[in-house]
Structure 1
Amino acid sequence: MAMYDRFAFIYDSLMSDIPYDKYAEWVQASAPIAAGKRLVDIGCGTGVLSVLFAKAGYDVIGLDLSESMLTIAQNRSIEHGTDISFVCQSMSEIEGIDEVNVAVIAIDSINYLETFEEVEETFERIFTALASGGQLFFDVHSLYKMDEIYPNGPFTFEDEQVAYIWHTEKGEEAHSIYHDITFFVQDETGYYERFEESHYQRTYPLESYTDLLKQVGFASVTVSSAVFSKQDDEEIERYFIQATK
């Protein structure tokens, strides 16, 4: 089964501690809502942020590589009474989307790109898709998180329906990690089904992202580490980056 197909159905419970509302507030503070303002939520997953943005007043397009994620996102949109267009595409191969005012790549989605060339291609395609003055918002894992936090696994999680054991191993490339996760999910009969997911993430020095954005053509780039909460300067785990065309 393709990456995320089964994972999609338990994704929300595992991401319940993510303060999506703070992410939406960060975007809205710099890209105030206006009539007809178009926003593309890249790597939208199950559509939590897409719905928040649509409810706030943006004209939203949700984009993700996983059809299973998009199915859940579409159902969520219908349940919340929002009108969101969902597209199945890879972020490094975006096409057919243009004149958008805001682009968002949330919750370290960009760290799933396997090469720096894919990151560059993603930035270039987003730059092309943005209208003049359009803004890109995204976040990435820091070197500290990738090199110091993740290798200290395994990590575990358990609630009433889902449990997992999450093993991590450093990848061959600098600042990369393999995630191997074994899930135990309770079905309707009370029995637990076991399945496994393997994921790969890679990050780069902060300057690599900011320099690349300027090289692509973005006029200004700003960085924050305190969108979710204040982080110690020596132990920053996530950077939030905003770039304006």
Structure 2
Amino acid sequence: MYGDFALVYDRLMADVDYDAWALHYQALLAQRGVPRGAVVLEAACGTGNLSLRLARTYQLLPSDLSDAMLSIAAGKARAAGQRLVFIRQDMQSLRAHRPVDALVCGCDGVNYLLTPAALSRFLRSAHAALKPGGALAFDVSSPDKLRRVLGGNTQVLRGEGICYIWENAWDEARQQLQLSLSIFDRQPGGQYLRIEEEQLQRAWTRQELEDAMRAAGFADVRCFGNFSMDPPDKQAQRLHFTAIKA
């Protein structure tokens, strides 16, 4: 899964403020009583950008389904002097060697769950992995962002040694965004490696997610807009959710 795309992912995401992401997740978990040093399982960790930051605060168990992403994440952890064990597992069948204090899934991971059944599997496996009273925290790009901001838009971006064309197509019937990327990565000899990447993201409404969380056994479900600790307004581009295992 991802393959060559994993090799250029971090360069495409260079403008993302992962320090801010980590601080916000720490605030969300602290509000739920998760202390420093708690055991936290991370789903869909990708190349580990959020993982390395969360691992400074928690006993982190990062996981992902992509071997290519995990290989890059493990290399970055070694370079940073962090002793992290990365776990290969599907976010729809999460497991830990013992129940954990909290579970996080950042940076749009839940948007890649395309059906109610897939969403339910993620939430039920998250519930099973948590201790009683454990906390769940995740985020999604909002329907407004996927439909209005990204849907139908094409971007052409050029950086040092890399350029890409990013096309988005919105499917109203399926409530899905198709992302098509053509990436040109300059190699040491001057030639360019072309990488084609297709992804689908599902637009989940606040109500759909809250209902699914309760159906999976979670209680005290809360939703926050963007990177605030306030409820979202209609223009919020990102929704963060937290809940407790009942």
Q: Classify 1:229/1:116 alpha carbon distance in 2 versus 1 (closer, same or farther; 3 Å).
A: same
Distance in 1 between the 2:182 and 2:99 partners? 42
Confirm or deny: 8 A CA contact 1:23 1:228 kept in the other structure.
no
How far does residue 179 in structure 1 lie from its aligned partner after superposition?
1.1
Letter in 1 for 2:8: I
Distance in 2 between the 1:4 and 1:53 partners? 24
Letter in 2 for 1:73: A
Letter in 1 for 2:185: V
Which aligned pairs between 1:172-187 and structure 2 lie closer than 5 A?
Answer: 173-187=173-187
Partner SS for 1:31: helix
How far does residue 29 in structure 1 lie from its aligned partner after superposition?
2.1
Distance in 1 between the 2:134 and 2:232 partners? 31
Distance in 2 between the 1:232 and 1:92 partners? 27
Q: C-alpha offsets along residues 203-222 of structure 1, whole Å, 9 cap, x if unaligned?
A: 22110101111121112111
Confirm or deny: 8 A CA contact 1:19 1:228 kept in the other structure.
no
2:40 aligned residue: 39
Identity %: 30
Letter in 1 for 2:136: L
How far does residue 18 in structure 1 lie from its aligned partner after superposition?
1.8
Distance in 2 between the 1:236 and 1:31 partners? 21
Confirm or deny: 8 A CA contact 1:61 1:84 kept in the other structure.
yes
Moved more, 117-126 or 231-240: 231-240
How far does residue 30 in structure 1 lie from its aligned partner after superposition?
3.8
Note the residue ranges of structure 1 that are not aligned, 5 or more in a row: none
Q: C-alpha offsets along residues 171-219 of structure 1, whole Å, 9 cap, x if unaligned?
A: 3743201111100001111222212111111122110101111121112
1:21 aligned residue: 19
Letter in 1 for 2:14: S
Partner SS for 1:219: strand
Confirm or deny: 8 A CA contact 1:22 1:228 kept in the other structure.
no
Q: Classify 1:168/1:230 alpha carbon distance in 2 versus 1 (closer, same or farther; 3 Å).
A: farther
Note the residue ranges of structure 2 that are not aligned, 5 or more in a row: none
How far does residue 63 in structure 1 lie from its aligned partner after superposition?
0.7
Letter in 2 for 1:171: D
How far does residue 115 in structure 1 lie from its aligned partner after superposition?
1.0
Q: Classify 1:72/1:218 alpha carbon distance in 2 versus 1 (closer, same or farther; 3 Å).
A: same
Moved more, 229-238 or 182-191: 229-238
Distance in 2 between the 1:145 and 1:169 partners? 13
How far does residue 34 in structure 1 lie from its aligned partner after superposition?
4.2
Q: Where in structure 1 do 4 or more consecutive aligned residues deviate above 4 Å?
A: 32-36, 228-232
Which aligned pairs between 1:132-171 and structure 2 lie closer than 5 A?
Answer: 132-171=132-171
Partner SS for 1:85: coil
How far does residue 230 in structure 1 lie from its aligned partner after superposition?
9.3
Q: Classify 1:38/1:167 alpha carbon distance in 2 versus 1 (closer, same or farther; 3 Å).
A: same
Confirm or deny: 8 A CA contact 1:178 1:201 kept in the other structure.
yes
Confirm or deny: 8 A CA contact 2:41 2:96 kept in the other structure.
no
Q: C-alpha offsets along residues 153-176 of structure 1, whole Å, 9 cap, x if unaligned?
A: 111221002111011222374320
TM-score (normalised: structure 1): 0.91
Would you say 1:4 and 2:32 are equivalent positions?
Answer: no
Partner SS for 2:166: strand
Q: Classify 1:230/1:37 alpha carbon distance in 2 versus 1 (closer, same or farther; 3 Å).
A: closer
Q: C-alpha offsets along residues 128-176 of structure 1, whole Å, 9 cap, x if unaligned?
A: 1011221111111211112212223111221002111011222374320
